[in-house]
Amino acid sequence: MLYSKLGITIFIHLTAKTVITGCFSFDNFRLMKKIKLLVDARNFGGEGQGSLTYLKGLYLALLESYGDRYELYFAGYDEAAVMEVFGKYNVRFLPLKNKSRLKLWLNEFPELIRKNDIEFAHFQYITPIKKACRYIVTTHDVLFNDFPGEFGWSYRTQRNFLFKRSLLQSEIRLTVSEYSRQKIAQHYRINPDTISITPNAPMESFLLPFDRKKSQEFVQNKFGWDKYILYVSRLEPRKNHLALLDAWQDLELAKQGVHLVFVGNNTLNDSALTNSFKKLNQKESAHFHWVRNASDKELLELYRAANLFVYPSKAEGFGIPPLEAAALGVNTICSNVTAMQDFNFFKNNHISPDNPGLLQTMIWLNITLPPPQAELDNIARIIREKYSWERSAKVLHGEVLRCLGLDYQKIAA
């Protein structure tokens, strides 16, 4: 049989899986045509959060490792924000017109998919109502089911319906940790073997060598702080900011010149926490700082220059900030529950978020008797070896090939 396209003539044997020359298989022949994949990029240019870090890390790695096999489309509102990350690659930006989620899910996304002959479309948590191609959904967590007291009834009911529908509608189901995989399977009665794990990892900027003294000078000049405890996370009750604030107050660290810095938006309007800010005395108010928005440069330098990073969250589907801090060699205290139970390399600094006395003790010990830098560097090494976006991109690529009926191992070989 003679097959001719674009001036290339390939002879294919009718009964064999390879071309007569033996140079190509049908699997490789299929991959001569790039896979058209659309990414829901609405969160680019908005509030920095875990799902944004996830998309940046995953697709930068996918483009680096498998860019010649994909034609990527990013659908969103902020082209500049998307191209700032992916501009050096041959990707396309598709502007979205509607801000209404119903209009997006019902019409605009399916129309974009059909218009551009998209084969796969990747969404976070919720897929379009109409089926227009093969869907990829990443369900980062279902913490509202595990900790119902932290979330309202309508919040839980709405998301349970939409998340389950999206999972059942998707050919590729992803999450970020074994904890989340088991909880998703449990709550929605889905076989956990049908959910693949694509863990988060520190971005490349957190893996580069740096001069800590220069970072400290940057923070001193920009913010006026020389010694501080850092917590990076959105403000909401399950994040447990209040426990850290109370420990800092009880230890009277402001009197010792130790600042407390929170970086993150008050997304869920945690009034109990913000009311506590107003009750600080004059000395404490001068040493407490809430940075609602920080640029990528500012955030990185705040991490690098921190004397201590504390992450006392009660519940996470993954928990990337403590890994980012520790990857930089910053002394870190981290919660040991939910998905964060995997971070046992923090050893004595891996503690229960429900024990205020222990949190206070560990903060005092780490401020007054910090561990040797060699110990912190070893934790950074473990994180770099265990978590990488390249591994997660390999999982995603393998799942795409599986959906296409292709054998990843044969193609990789």
Q: Does residue 99 lie in a domain region?
A: yes
Tell me: the pLDDT tens digits for 94-127? 999 999 999 999 999 999 999 999 999 999 999 9
Q: Does residue 373 lie in a domain region?
A: yes
Q: Does residue 19 lie in a domain region?
A: no
Q: Do residue 252 and residue 393 come from a single domain?
A: no
Q: Does residue 26 lie in a domain region?
A: no
Q: Do residue 149 and residue 215 come from a single domain?
A: no
Query: What CATH number should be reported for the domain holding residue 230?
Result: 3.40.50.2000
Contact indicator for 213, 304 with CB cutoff of 8 Å: no
Q: Do residue 165 and residue 228 come from a single domain?
A: no
Q: Do residue 210 and residue 239 come from a single domain?
A: yes
Q: Do residue 178 and residue 100 come from a single domain?
A: yes
Q: Do residue 142 and residue 289 come from a single domain?
A: no
With left for phi above 0 and alpha for psi between -120 and 50, is residue 240 left, alpha or beta? left
What helix, strand, coil percent values describe the chain, rounded to 5? 50, 15, 35
Q: Do residue 213 and residue 258 come from a single domain?
A: yes
Q: Does residue 21 lie in a domain region?
A: no
Tell me: the pLDDT tens digits for 16-61? 433 333 344 545 555 568 999 999 999 998 765 788 999 999 999 9
| Strand order through the sheet with 120-124 | 92-95, 70-76, 35-40, 120-124, 134-138, 172-175, 195-197
Q: Does residue 252 lie in a domain region?
A: yes
Q: How many domains does the chain have?
A: 2
Rounded to 5 degrees, what are φ and ψ at 398? -60, -40
Tell me: the pLDDT tens digits for 303-355? 999 999 999 999 999 999 999 999 999 999 999 999 999 999 999 999 999 99
* Residue 92 host element (H or E): strand 92-95
| Residue-level pLDDT at 111 | 97
pTM: 0.87
Q: Which residues contact 58 (CB under 8 A, 6 or more apart)?
A: 198, 389, 392, 393, 396
Q: Does residue 7 lie in a domain region?
A: no
Domain that holds residue 134: 34-201+389-412
